[in-house]
Structure 1
Amino acid sequence: MVVGFPSLSLSCFGLGAFAVILIIGFLKLLCLLLRRQKLARAMDNFPGPPTHWFFGHVLEIQKTGSLEKVVSWAHEFPYAHPLWFGQFIGFLNIYDPDYAKAVYSRGDPKAPDVYDFFLPWIGRGLLVLDGPKWFQHRKLLTPGFHYDVLKPYVAVIAESTHAMLDKWEKKARENKSCDIFCDVGHMALDSLMKCTFGKGDSGLGHRDSNYYLAVGDLTMLMQKRIEQFQYHNDFIYYWLTSHGRRFLRACQIAHNHTDQVIRKRKEALQDKKEQEKLQQRKHLDFLDILLGARDESGIQLSDADLRAEVDTFMFEGHDTTTSGISWFLYCMARYPEHQQRCREEIRGILGDRDSVQWDDLGKMTYLTMCIKECLRLYPPVPQVYRQLNKPVTFVDGRSLPAGSLISLHIYALHRNSTVWPDPEVFDPLRFSPENVTGRHPFAYMPFSAGPRNCIGQQFAMNEMKVTSALCLLRFEFSLDPSQLPIPVVQLILRSKNSIHLHLKSLGTESGK
């Protein structure tokens, strides 16, 4: 009898544990059902496309592609419509300037149903934070994007761009189209490392850059996770799927890279000779400002906060500009009359010079209009998400309660025909001073808008101007009809088949 007691106890313990698991599972299911009911009730006033009983709108999006499908829905349902990933994750998908203003002028937090997926990768940096800590980080990081900090970066960006263009000279002689997206990505990452982390030689000029490939993996996997609602549970995703394990491996590669950047700078600050070199530099970089940042109480960023901000800027600082520059060059190839006019403007500004200076950027008016029109048609971040921290009432009287989820579809907003006549037409004059005057401030949002707009938008615009100007000086770009790009969302706007263009070297015509 005594011998049987332990076995009986273990059996009772097992049954008890199983009962606890069942109760927890039941409570979670109950919470999901209550949340689903609340979401559905909140969406009742907003007609939208029919949903599948289990998949919501996922199958329709996967079948036709999210960009084309959402734009077609935006034509059918004015202002906004519900967008369901399964039956438990539902967003009000908006693409109207007044609707955008109602939400994005307030500074509501990012939607955790999407942005929590970033946490294993970039931690709680500026992209994910909300509340007082977001405000603190934003204030600490703002000096890193001051005019005096950005000004010296022009020469650094030009140096990285020239290195890419020298490689393109060789490719142009092969008389076949070139995959520019990959090359622009390495150039943008090289520029970022030199500009913001003071790294003289980033070592990222080769195609096998582990970090560059890891970011490509991470953005692709995260987009799939957003759209495949069955992967929203962390346990299922990380432990039971190959995608989740691949995501964690890519995170580790990204972390190893940023940890090395931070560690080397901290070591340099402990070495007297390196300290003297840092002091002799003409400008502070982003990492200098992060390491020296203190709030009113003299408190610095913790090690976790520091890495989160470095990881965030490493991703956002190169991937979005890669998208913007690549799609701009595609637009120039597609519309050669605008390409030539930009080239003539640049030659008029630079004269015999083959480099761009800070004062040149403000003179590139037509190039800037073309860049803005490209960002309208091909916004680097096509969709962003918020969770309402208080109720909102829209201009037409319809409302949503606190806790509701909002998806701003920037790609569809920029194709809203009530704001943009002939929205698919490439027309840089939309951004002439006279045409900009009076336009709704939330009609054009390539860098978001309101208090949570992109802190690095001036850095990104400067890089796009410098790189685009130098590219147009050295090469004439034309389409490869056999490989036209297919826009696809992978957090940023990429092309399903990359972006292939023919390059024709202009030789001495560039002024070199």
Structure 2
Amino acid sequence: METSWLEMRWSRPFYLAFVLLLTLVLLQTIKLFLRRQQLLRDLRPFPGPPPLHCPTGEGKHPGAESGKRKHGVTQLFRDGDFKTIEEFVKKYPCGFPAWIGPFEVFFQIYDPDYAKTFLSRTDPKSQYLYRFLNSLLGQGLLSLNGIRWFQHRRLITPAFNFNILKSHTSVMAQSVNVMLDKWEKICGTQESVLEVFQDISLMSLDTLMKSTFSQETNCQINSTHDHYTRGITEGSEIIYNRMFSFLYHYDIIFKFSPKKRHLQKLVNNLHQYTDQIIQERRKALKDEKEHGKTGNRKFQDFLDILLSAQDEQGNSFSDADLYAEVNTFMVAGQDTIGGSLAWLLYHLAQNPEHQERCREEIMGILGDGSSITWDHLGKMTYTTMCIKETLRLCPTVLGFSRQLSQPLTFPDGRSLPAGMTVTLNIWALHHNPAIWENPQVFDPLRFAPDNYDKRHSYSFLPFSAGPRNCIGQHFAMTELKVAIAMTLLRFKITPDPTRPLIVVPKVLLKPKNGVYLFLKKIS
């Protein structure tokens, strides 16, 4: 039977639509194929693991070896298989390409000369992790680029000058004492094993709530802010998993996933909490200005400085800017400082000779420890060395990425093209056996003043370097010194051999099963 004219008329649009769709799919496939071939050519000078990310990990490209792996290379970073990463560092000097799916690659570097060349430039932050973080934190100093980053950095810098940090020392000591009193109540006069990471996280949150908002939260005792901490933790987990899921890189796919809905709920709760505090402070500042009052706060907190900040043109932070910067400071401060203190206690427990030497130094400076001031902190030479060695072994921030705006030529003559995403792998840099002798050994003497000139200035980068170094690094070091000094004066710390520390990457470095230590009150 012949096809009628009417049937042909109705079928033609569907036929044309099908042909158009097929053409678009074919063009996109060709585009991806050409992109992959270009990446393979660009990366030919750099040997590395197989580029395919598949169950067997089989793959081969020019300059790469073939073979079978249980997981692709990106799975190693996702799962925190640090031993295998360290093997790659030995096998592929300076750097190697780590593929995320068949069409995207993060070029990992961990050589001091490479790092110096990389950090001397002003390439924008990578679109991957930082773009995903924006959905949780907003566009703050962590993810901004160009003029806006420079404006924010200049406006925020006064919040971290030494006069402000001096006023925070007593606030930090108060929060640390609450934590130690709680431990003393649990332990009594007996040696007791405690999971310390959760308590340290709450202590860091308490300090930040006071330093950022001047809020007396009592969160260490009644956990009234668990929802804030949980929101940040769960949101970070979703973002980290998204970064290693090739399909979720596409917003349209992620938008319809259950993870997106859960993330949006977390973001709404965080925004509501932060917005309430900002609006209350604005009202209080307005009342103070109208009635000539100075308020009850003993020092300027982070929010005060953000609300009063203006540049030469009179521009100030918008509500979105305030939300982003406050949450960035809270998240970065709690997770990085809390994690670093936990790793420091763990390493001092594992190395009692260094713990005792720190304790002797601190007792010589503080006496009975009834008070601790800013001036005391600069005298803690050996304790500072132990803090730095901990930051080398367990850098809370494992790395950061930038997208090359221009071709990058390294000191050895090899080059990467514009558009390539480059990651400075801090973990690999700090564990690189070509830089550090016996890199797995806890040895604070690496940071003795006499050894400073013996190592490359870009071999130790826990706070990055160059113009985009961590703006809060002095705040972090101050809190770490206050916390470890007060802790060692009150407790002797020993490891729990049945529960060794296992660290995993979750945007920032986290303990997989907590941090368990034996604590004994010092008489």
TM-score, L = length of structure 2: 0.89
Once the two structures are superposed, what CA deviation does each residue of 1:265-302 show, in whole Å capped at 9, x if it has no partner?
Answer: 11212324997664564432111111111111111111
For 1:488, the aligned partner's letter is V
Quickly say closer, same or farther: Cα 1:98–1:282, change in 2 above 3 A: same
Quickly say closer, same or farther: Cα 1:17–1:499, change in 2 above 3 A: farther
What's the counterpart of residue 238 of structure 2?
Answer: 221
State how far apart, in whole Å, the 1-side matches of 2:107 and 2:470 are.
22
TM superposition shift of 1:217: 1.2
Once the two structures are superposed, what CA deviation does each residue of 1:350-391 show, in whole Å capped at 9, x if it has no partner?
Answer: 113323100000000010000000000000101211111111
* 3-state secondary structure, aligned to 1:254: helix
What's the counterpart of residue 4 of structure 1?
Answer: none
Query: Does residue 1:118 correspond to 2:160, yes or no?
Result: no
1:181-330 correspondence runs (5 A): 181-201=197-217, 203=219, 205-207=221-223, 209-240=226-257, 242-272=258-288, 278-279=294-295, 281-330=297-346
Quickly say closer, same or farther: Cα 1:35–1:302, change in 2 above 3 A: farther
When structure 1 is superposed on structure 2, of 291-300 and 351-360 the one drifting more is 351-360
Quickly say closer, same or farther: Cα 1:447–1:348, change in 2 above 3 A: same
For 2:355, the aligned partner's letter is Q
Query: Does residue 1:475 correspond to 2:491, yes or no?
Result: yes
State how far apart, in whole Å, the 2-side matches of 1:311 and 1:19 are.
48
State how far apart, in whole Å, the 2-side matches of 1:191 and 1:346 are.
22
Query: Does residue 1:370 correspond to 2:386, yes or no?
Result: yes
Quickly say closer, same or farther: Cα 1:19–1:135, change in 2 above 3 A: farther
State how far apart, in whole Å, the 1-side matches of 2:465 and 2:165 are.
21
TM superposition shift of 1:249: 2.5
What's the counterpart of residue 174 of structure 2?
Answer: 159
For 1:239, the aligned partner's letter is F
What's the counterpart of residue 5 of structure 1?
Answer: none
State how far apart, in whole Å, the 2-side matches of 1:161 and 1:20 are.
65
What's the counterpart of residue 72 of structure 2?
Answer: 59
State how far apart, in whole Å, the 1-side matches of 2:230 and 2:10 are.
49
What's the counterpart of residue 66 of structure 2?
Answer: none
Contact 2:385 2:447 in 1 (8 A): yes
Contact 1:106 1:451 in 2 (8 A): no
What's the counterpart of residue 65 of structure 2?
Answer: none
TM superposition shift of 1:22: 6.1
Quickly say closer, same or farther: Cα 1:13–1:392, change in 2 above 3 A: same
Quickly say closer, same or farther: Cα 1:472–1:145, change in 2 above 3 A: same
For 1:349, the aligned partner's letter is I
Percent identity, aligned pairs only, is 46
What's the counterpart of residue 42 of structure 1?
Answer: 42
Query: Does residue 1:423 correspond to 2:436, yes or no?
Result: no
Contact 1:80 1:95 in 2 (8 A): yes
State how far apart, in whole Å, the 1-side matches of 2:468 and 2:31 are.
30
Contact 1:160 1:191 in 2 (8 A): yes
Query: Does residue 1:142 correspond to 2:157, yes or no?
Result: yes
Quickly say closer, same or farther: Cα 1:161–1:129, change in 2 above 3 A: same
TM superposition shift of 1:460: 0.5
Number of residue pairs the alignment of both structures matches = 500
TM superposition shift of 1:13: 8.2
Quickly say closer, same or farther: Cα 1:340–1:175, change in 2 above 3 A: closer
TM superposition shift of 1:339: 0.7
When structure 1 is superposed on structure 2, of 461-470 and 34-43 the one drifting more is 34-43
Q: Among residues 359, 362, 371, which one is paired with 1:343 in the alignment?
A: 359
Once the two structures are superposed, what CA deviation does each residue of 1:426-462 show, in whole Å capped at 9, x if it has no partner?
Answer: 1111111110124211100001111111000000000
TM superposition shift of 1:128: 0.5
Once the two structures are superposed, what CA deviation does each residue of 1:222-250 show, in whole Å capped at 9, x if it has no partner?
Answer: 2222223232222222312x333332222
* 3-state secondary structure, aligned to 1:423: coil
Unaligned runs of 5+ in 2: 1-7, 58-68
What's the counterpart of residue 462 of structure 2?
Answer: 446
For 1:483, the aligned partner's letter is R
For 1:124, the aligned partner's letter is Q
TM-score, L = length of structure 1: 0.91
Contact 2:199 2:220 in 1 (8 A): no
For 1:140, the aligned partner's letter is L
Contact 1:388 1:401 in 2 (8 A): yes
Contact 1:121 1:255 in 2 (8 A): no
Quickly say closer, same or farther: Cα 1:29–1:189, change in 2 above 3 A: farther
TM superposition shift of 1:157: 0.3
What's the counterpart of residue 62 of structure 2?
Answer: none
* 3-state secondary structure, aligned to 1:101: helix
Quickly say closer, same or farther: Cα 1:268–1:393, change in 2 above 3 A: same
Contact 2:169 2:373 in 1 (8 A): yes
TM superposition shift of 1:251: 2.1
TM superposition shift of 1:171: 2.4
TM superposition shift of 1:199: 1.6
TM superposition shift of 1:336: 0.8
State how far apart, in whole Å, the 2-side matches of 1:362 and 1:106 are.
32
TM superposition shift of 1:79: 0.6
* 3-state secondary structure, aligned to 1:177: strand
Query: Does residue 1:87 correspond to 2:109, yes or no?
Result: no
Contact 1:42 1:404 in 2 (8 A): no
TM superposition shift of 1:476: 1.0
State how far apart, in whole Å, the 2-side matches of 1:384 and 1:150 are.
26
State how far apart, in whole Å, the 2-side matches of 1:14 and 1:119 are.
40
State how far apart, in whole Å, the 2-side matches of 1:125 and 1:144 are.
15
Once the two structures are superposed, what CA deviation does each residue of 1:381-402 show, in whole Å capped at 9, x if it has no partner?
Answer: 0121111111111111100111
* 3-state secondary structure, aligned to 2:498: helix
TM superposition shift of 1:29: 4.8
Coordinate RMSD, CA, aligned = 2.6
What's the counterpart of residue 92 of structure 2?
Answer: 77
For 1:111, the aligned partner's letter is S
